Amino acid sequence: MMFWILIAVMTAAAALSILVPLARSARREDPVEAEQTADTAVYRQQLAEVDRDLERGLIETEAAVAARTEIARRLLAADERQHGAETGSKSGALLRLAMVTALVFLPLGSFGLYLYLGSPDLPDQPLFARLSEPAENQSVDVLVARVERHLSENPQDGQGWSVVAPVYMRMGNPKAAANAYANAIRLLGATAQLETDFGEALTVANDGIVSADAQAAFERAVALEPGAVKPRFFLALALGQEGKSEEAIASWSSLLEGADPSEAWVPVAQAELAKLGGTQMAGRLGSGEALPGPSAEEVAAASDMTDQDRTAMISGMVEGLAERLDDTGGSVDEWLRLIRAYSVLGEGDKAAAALTKARKVFAEDTSSLGRINEMAEKAGIEGS
Amino acid sequence: MIVELGHYALVLAFALSLIQSVLPMVGAVREDSRLMAIAPPVSVALFVLVALSFAALTAAYLSSDFSVVNVWENSHSAKPLIYKISGVWGNHEGSVLLWVLILVFFGALVGFFGTNIPASLRAATLAVQSWVTAGFILFILATSNPFNRIAEAPLEGNGLNPILQDIGLAIHPPLLYVGYVGFSITFSFAVAALILGRLDAAWARWVRPWTLLAWVFLTAGIAMGSYWAYYELGWGGWWFWDPVENASFMPWLAGTALLHSAIVMEKRDALKVWTVLLAIFTFSLSLLGTFLVRSGVLTSVHAFATDPERGVFILVLLCLFIGGSLTLYAWRAPMLKQGGLFAPISREGALVLNNLFLTAATVAVFVGTLYPLALDVITGEKISVGAPFFNLTFGPLMIPLLIAVPFGPVLAWKRGDLLAASQRLYAAFGIAILACLFTLWLWGFERVMAPLGVGLAVWVMTGAMVEILTRVKLFEVGLSRGFARLKGLPGSAWGTSIAHFGVGVTVLGIVTASAFQEERILTMKPGDNVELSGYELTFDGVVPRKGPNYREDVGHFTVRTGGTIVEKMEPSKRLYTARQMPTTEAAIMTSWFSQLYLSLGEGRDNGAVDVRVYFKPLVTLIWIGCMIMAFGGLVSIADRRLRVGAPKPARRATPSPQAAE
């Protein structure tokens, strides 16, 4: 409301700057005369200057006389113009037109143009006010920015880092999360929980590959708490990714030993084990056309997991499939699944690369090639 | 709300400027006093509205309101306060808004203080000023609106280009803009006079203070820009002849010519046609400069061609204003009555000579600036026109002009006596010769041109002093009376002398700094020494340091003369982390008017670093001279005879001679 009042006031003031002089100057003296006196004033001043310069000896008498004649001539001309000029007729129609512009064109024009260009509903959003609003009214982004601001001023606040780290994970920013966990560990000291989360963040940031850094973090966590499941889970995953199948199988088995089957991670572990050819799940491998995919339990487990766990799990599976296809080859259906998985995960480059590889593998097989191309077209992937 | 109010104020200003463009002009042509009376209050209202709008944008910057696209693109919450403010005009949209603010500022000045100007001329002038204003506000609203919003405001901005995060660049654009947009008012006066068909000595007098004001700011702005480039770009050069610099230098040259020809018009009612043309050209060159800088044509002709919206808009405005005013000129100028006659050897003659050379120099700069662009557009060939071109064209034009400078003020109007004038300048000539010989003795015959250059500079300086002294006849009337007369001299006479003296000072700085500069470019290891012009520099090593938004490697140097430590110098190389942009920070030691200039190049292994060391004798005189020139302009404005806002002469039947003083 205040906004519209102020707009009205501004418009009114602008209109008045036109209307007031229109009304007032009706009482003024004749403009033409005033104008000519402004003219003659200048020449009179110039005459006085010449006199003064002469008096001070700044110019020669001769020059002064010449200058005076010249200025006098101009003065006379200006005088003549003054008498010759006719007073302009004051047109009433023009005046009315001027008033109408001030009263109608100005407000309507500017108001209309503003409504077209402006965003009257959008309030100011000064950063400070946004950051100091009560927490419940704020989006996660604002809260994070607030914590970031706090941390940039107090970088030694370990508690702050440990609070913001999981939020980063949830926001899908594992790199920032890893950095925050690292700071938290540095400032608060290592705990199994922090080390595990640190390793997990690194893993997620690395597209599900357990890097050496992550592995080290998980090992530290296991050292701090030998019974912890999560770090051991990732360590087993790492062994699998490294291709140390024997050791991986051993790890998975020991992990699964005595585990509560209702735990969300168990089916995943079992699937990994099965993939490695371990015994526990061997019987479950389907026969015939059915491809080994995530079991119903695995899917259920995945839906119980947090986003990160799920991403890690899915990308872990996809990477596993990719490696296998690279090493030992596979059916056209498996290739298609890999390409589709990449494209669903939003990894266009990898999808394209897989597509290229698949085309090379099935270069001789026209029906398979046809299916590959059809799928690629549908998913909008372009290989080379 | 504040942001939106600012937006509305700008839109309202646009509507108001449209009205201002029409009504007062109709009033002036039809001699309707009531319509003319609209102009001054509306000009003030326009200024208030645009100022509100600018203030709203500034408020958005200060509060880091990232819901404003412009703020988000160009600011950052962690930026120091001063750069939040300077960030307002450190980008395209904001700088155009500043442009408009200065346009309406000059309009309001004339509206408020121009009471000694006849109502019809004032009304028509303000109307013309409003044409320009309306055109540029439309440009802002249509293509470069700084008030565009984002509903989902981001939490952090992109930051300001680090090279702009410098105190010199924070204040230099506003100064420069006041200068080059200020010439718009001269343009408006010229167009108004052409429309009304009255162009006489009185006109020149009314226009003079405004031209001077714009010129003073432009002079100061160019000087600051030059000093900024000198210490920020790390090459020790103070003028690069790059197109952006030339864009402000061309209006300066034309404006200087205009100042001088307007004197002739005021005193003798002559050179009218030429003066009006210069007034049009000066502002046209300002517009051209704006086009060059703002359309992106300079960075790449092709970038401009692919995103031409803004550039084309300015180009259309440019054609409209320049083409329109020149057409008007071609139509009306022949009807002007020619005024006073004069002999070639006379004050007028000298001023015509000044105009000839300044105009030719403007053309030289114009060609050097636009030729590469034109060539790129037509043939696609890229060339760069640099210092050699300008040294060959601009330089030779300046020499005769400088020789003539002292003659102008001592020549009589109408019919001058060159011999008598020369006699008055004997002393100045003698001192100049002595300066030549002294330089020769000091530096020998190595650089033959340099002593001549020093002589020329001294000639201009002493000529300016001699002029003022002969005017008061100091040697004839004795000291005490002489001083009394000195005080009684009109401000414009003082202004002339001071400004001419400033020219000499700048020339002296240019000659000595370029001819007698000493430089060493070398790689130094910690502990190394280098000797230059009597200074002994020791490199103590490079230490990294962290600033608020950058990291830097600071080189530590100790400067000694004759074994005693005079100064510690710390040039550095900075890396602004937000944009990963490196800058060079030179270290400068000033001793008297000379400077020792030190800047770092690439770092090498084992702590060694490339170092550029310059000794620039009297280099600061270049900028001091410009400041003296600008000061001369101010003194001239302060001349009581020109002072505006005096009690309205129109109210008085016969102005008293006292008021005329």
The domain ranges of chain B are 1-162, 405-516+621-631, 518-616
pLDDT for res B141? 93
- CB within 8 A of B284, min separation 6: which ones? B187, B318, B321, B322, B325
**A154 shares contact with chain B (CB less than 8 Å):** no
**In angstroms, what CA-CA distances link A326 with A207, A292, A294, A383, B303?**
18, 17, 20, 17, 45
Q: What is the pLDDT of residue B423?
A: 81
Question: Which residues in chain B touch residue A50, judged by CB atoms under 8 angstroms apart?
Answer: none
Indicate the residue among A117, A142, A177 that finishes a domain.
Answer: A117
Lowest mean pLDDT among A224-233, B132-141, B613-622: A224-233
Question: How does pLDDT run across A76-95, given as a tens digit for each residue?
Answer: 877 776 655 544 445 678 88
Q: B499 pLDDT band (50/70/90 cuts)?
A: very high
Report CB contact under 8 Å: B116, A38: yes
Question: Each residue of A121-175: pLDDT tens digit?
Answer: 888 888 777 777 666 666 667 777 777 777 777 777 777 788 788 878 877 788 8
Does B19 sit within 8 Å of A106, measured CB to CB?
Answer: yes
Among A117, A139, A160, the domain boundary falls at A117
Give pairs for A126-134: CB < 8 Å, separation 24+: A126/B63, A126/B64, A126/B65, A127/B63, A127/B64, A127/B65, A127/B66, A127/B77, A127/B155, A128/B63, A128/B64, A129/B63, A130/B153, A130/B155
Q: Alpha-carbon torsion B323, B326, B332, B335, what sign?
A: negative
Residue of A nearest to B20 (CA): A18
- What percentage of chain A exceeds 90 in pLDDT? 7
Closest by Cβ to A74, choosing from B200, B471, B661: B200
Q: Do A24 and B37 touch (CB under 8 A)?
A: yes
Option in B8, B34, B151 nearest A7 (CB): B8
**Pair type for strands B572-576 and B564-569:** unpaired
CB contact under 8 A, B8 and A118: yes
Instruction: For residues A145 and A153, give the distance between their C-alpha atoms in angstroms, rounded to a whole number.
Output: 12
Average pLDDT over residues B499-523: 90
Q: What is the DSSP letter of B68?
A: B
Q: Is residue A8 part of a domain?
A: yes
A94 CB near a chain B CB, below 8 Å? yes
- Token pair, residue B83, equals 């750069």
Q: Please give the full DSSP string across B198-228, using - where no structure is assigned.
A: --SHHHHHHHHHHHHHHHHHHHHHHHHHHHH
Each residue of B348-400: pLDDT tens digit?
888 889 999 999 999 999 998 888 888 887 887 777 777 888 888 888 899 99
Residue A248 lies in a domain: no
Range in A62-66, A356-360, B22-26, B585-589 the model is least confident about? A62-66
What pLDDT sits at residue B255?
Answer: 94
Q: Tell which wins on pLDDT, A202 or A342.
A: A202
Shortest distance between the Cα of B64 and any Cα of chain A, in A, equals 5
Indicate the residue of A35, A52, A56 with minimum beta-carbon distance to B120. Answer: A35
Residue A92 domain-assigned?
yes
pLDDT at B201 over 70: yes
pLDDT at B133: 96
Return the residue of A nearest to B199 by Cα. A39
Which of B531, B595, B519 has the alpha carbon at shortest distance from B561? B531
**Contact between chains at A113 and B14 (C-beta distance less than 8 A):** yes
Specify if A22 maps to a domain. Answer: yes
ipTM confidence score: 0.81
Question: Of residues B176 and A33, which shows the higher confidence score?
Answer: B176
The string of pLDDT tens digits covering residues B21-31 is 999 999 888 88
- Number of structural domains in chain A: 2
Report the mean per-residue pLDDT for chain B: 84
For CA atoms A200, A205, A211, A212, the dihedral sign is: negative
Q: What pLDDT does A32 receive? A: 54
CB contact under 8 A, B7 and A60: no
Q: How far is A13 from chain B (nearest CA, A)?
A: 8
CA dihedral over A362, A367, A370, A371, signed as positive or negative? negative
Contacts of B205 in chain A (CB under 8 A): 42
Summarize the confidence of residues B646-656 as an average pLDDT. 37
Q: Is residue A111 part of a domain?
A: yes
**What are the chain B neighbours of A57 within 8 Å (beta carbons)?**
473
pLDDT digits (tens, 9 = 90+) for B178-195: 988 999 999 999 999 999
Determine the distance in angstroms separating the CA of A138 from the nearest CA of chain B, rounded to an integer.
Answer: 12
B460-489: pLDDT as tens digits: 999 998 888 877 766 666 777 777 777 777
Residue A159 lies in a domain: no
Residue B660, pLDDT score: 33
Q: Does A61 touch chain B (CB under 8 A)?
A: no
CA distances from A21 to A25, A90, A92, B601, B650 (A): 6, 15, 15, 64, 18
Which residues on B lie below 8 Å from A74 (Cβ)? 200-201, 269
Average pLDDT in chain A: 76
Is A313 inside any structural domain?
A: no
Domain assignment present for residue A161? The answer is: no
pLDDT at B650: 38
Angle between helices B92-113 and B272-294 (to 10 degrees): 150
Structural domain span for residue A336: 329-384
For residue B34, which residues of chain A lie inside 8 Å, CB to CB?
21-22, 25-26, 90, 95, 98
Strand B535-546 vs strand B594-603: parallel, antiparallel, or unpaired? unpaired
Contact partners, residue A128, CB within 8 Å, separation at least 6? B63, B64
Strands ordered across the beta sheet of B518-524: B518-524, B609-616, B594-603, B587-591
* Residue A108 banded pLDDT, cuts 50, 70, 90: very high
Is A118 in Cβ contact with B7 (below 8 Å)?
yes
User: Which three-class secondary structure string do you get for A322-352?
Assistant: HHHHHHHCCCHHHHHHHHHHHHHCCCHHHHH
Higher pLDDT among residues A94 and A103, named by residue: A103
Is B231:B172 a contact under the CB 8 Å cutoff? no
Cβ atoms B320, B191 nearer than 8 A: no
Residues B38, A119: C-beta atoms closer than 8 Å: no
Q: How many Cα atoms occupy the beta-carbon half-sphere of B455 within 13 Å? A: 17
Residue of B nearest to A35 (CA): B118
A183-191: Cβ within 8 A, 24+ apart: A183/A155, A183/A158, A184/A158, A184/A159, A186/A158, A187/A156, A187/A157, A187/A158, A187/A161, A188/A158, A188/A159, A188/A162, A190/A220, A190/A224, A191/A224
pLDDT digits (tens, 9 = 90+) for A355-365: 888 888 888 88
CB contact under 8 A, A127 and B66: yes
Task: Inspect the interface and report whether the beta carbons of A117 and B7 lie closer than 8 Å.
Answer: yes
Q: How confident is the model at residue B648 (pLDDT cuts 50, 70, 90)?
A: very low
Terminus-to-terminus CA distance in chain A, angstroms? 61
Listed residues A69, A98, A117: the one ending a domain: A117
Share of chain A above pLDDT 70, in %: 79
CB contact under 8 A, B141 and A38: no
pLDDT band at B656 (very low <50, low <70, confident <90, very high): very low
Specify the DSSP element, H or E, that contains A215.
Answer: helix A212-224
